[in-house]
Amino acid sequence: MSGSKLLDDSNNRNAGDHPLGMTVHSIPSPEQAFERDARRTGSGRWKMLVVMLVCAAPVIASYFMYYVVRPEGRRNFGELIEPQRPLPDQASLSLSGTTSNLQALKGQWLIVSVSGGACDEACTRHLYLQRQLRESVGKEKDRIDWVWLVQDDAPVPDKLLPALKEATVLRVAAKALADWLKPSAGQQLADHLYLVDPMGNWMMRFPAHLDVDHAPQAKKDIERLLRASASWDQAGRGTVRPANQ
């Protein structure tokens, strides 16, 4: 075979041969990976916050209208509690012996009184006013529960039981109640009626020794709150009413 022939064969082989190509991708540094993960985490948190704000918007708007956008000259009869104090994670006992938790009361507006089980004259007056305040709001009454929290082991008088059929009566440790609810200066815990919103926050305290003459002023506060929360609060929402008898 001639030299020219060998050269031609060599050129032909070289023209058909191709080297194996390999692409090497760079690996991000630990700092770059950390920054990328941080951006993703931050983005996820912002999205979650936006969703929470959208869900809470009706509640925030209703309280803004009540607390901030007030007609000139309007004053609350009850004292607003700021910051609001949530229902404690506290065991309770119904008159029938059923155990539950105070947080089970969430889902309704609550008109709350506190006293010993013997229920003196002031206690009896409060129970009467609680029932009357609830009945006085008419068709909106199903959005309200009246609650008597008994802070000792004294038996409840039998004569009261028929009047308590629509009430929620629970025995709760006195210390737990004192840690949650607070009277105004110079008053006792049992001297007030307290208002709790459907989210379980104690948010208003009515003046001590409320009587029939001043009850209409308390009613006005309750009616304004019911109107302000009408867009997000529904009757009986989430409420677990413990048996009393």
pTM for the predicted model, two decimal places: 0.71
User: With contact defined as beta carbons under 8 Å apart, do 114 and 189 qualify?
Assistant: yes
The predicted pLDDT at position 20 comes to: 45
pLDDT (tens digit per residue) in 141-198 = 999 999 999 999 999 999 999 999 999 999 999 999 999 999 999 999 999 999 999 9
pLDDT (tens digit per residue) in 97-119 = 999 999 999 999 999 999 999 99
Q: Work out the mean pLDDT of the chain and round it to a whole number.
A: 81
Task: Tell me how far the alpha carbon of residue 120 is from its chain's centroid.
Answer: 33
Mean pLDDT of 65-81: 66
Radius of gyration of the chain (CA): 34
* Better-scored residue on pLDDT, 106 or 36: 106
The predicted pLDDT at position 234 comes to: 76
The predicted pLDDT at position 231 comes to: 84
3-state secondary structure the chain: CCHHHHHHHHHHHHHHCCCCCCCCCCCCCHHHHHHHHHHHHHHHHHHHHHHHHHHHHHHHHHHHHHHCCCCCCCCCCCEEEEEEEECCCCEEEECCCCEEEHHHHCCCEEEEEEECCCCCHHHHHHHHHHHHHHHHCHHHHHHEEEEEEECCCCCCCHHHHHHHCCCEEEECCHHHHHHHCCCCCCCCHHHCCEEECCCCEEEEECCCCCCCCCHHHHHHHHHHHHHHCCCCCCCCCCCCCCCCC
* Distance in angstroms (rounded) separating the CA atoms of residues 187 and 109: 24
Is residue 91 over pLDDT 60? yes
Is residue 226 over pLDDT 50? yes
The predicted pLDDT at position 83 comes to: 92
The predicted pLDDT at position 54 comes to: 58
* Distance in angstroms (rounded) separating the CA atoms of residues 198 and 174: 23
Q: How confident is the model at residue 245 (pLDDT cuts 50, 70, 90)?
A: very low
The predicted pLDDT at position 57 comes to: 56
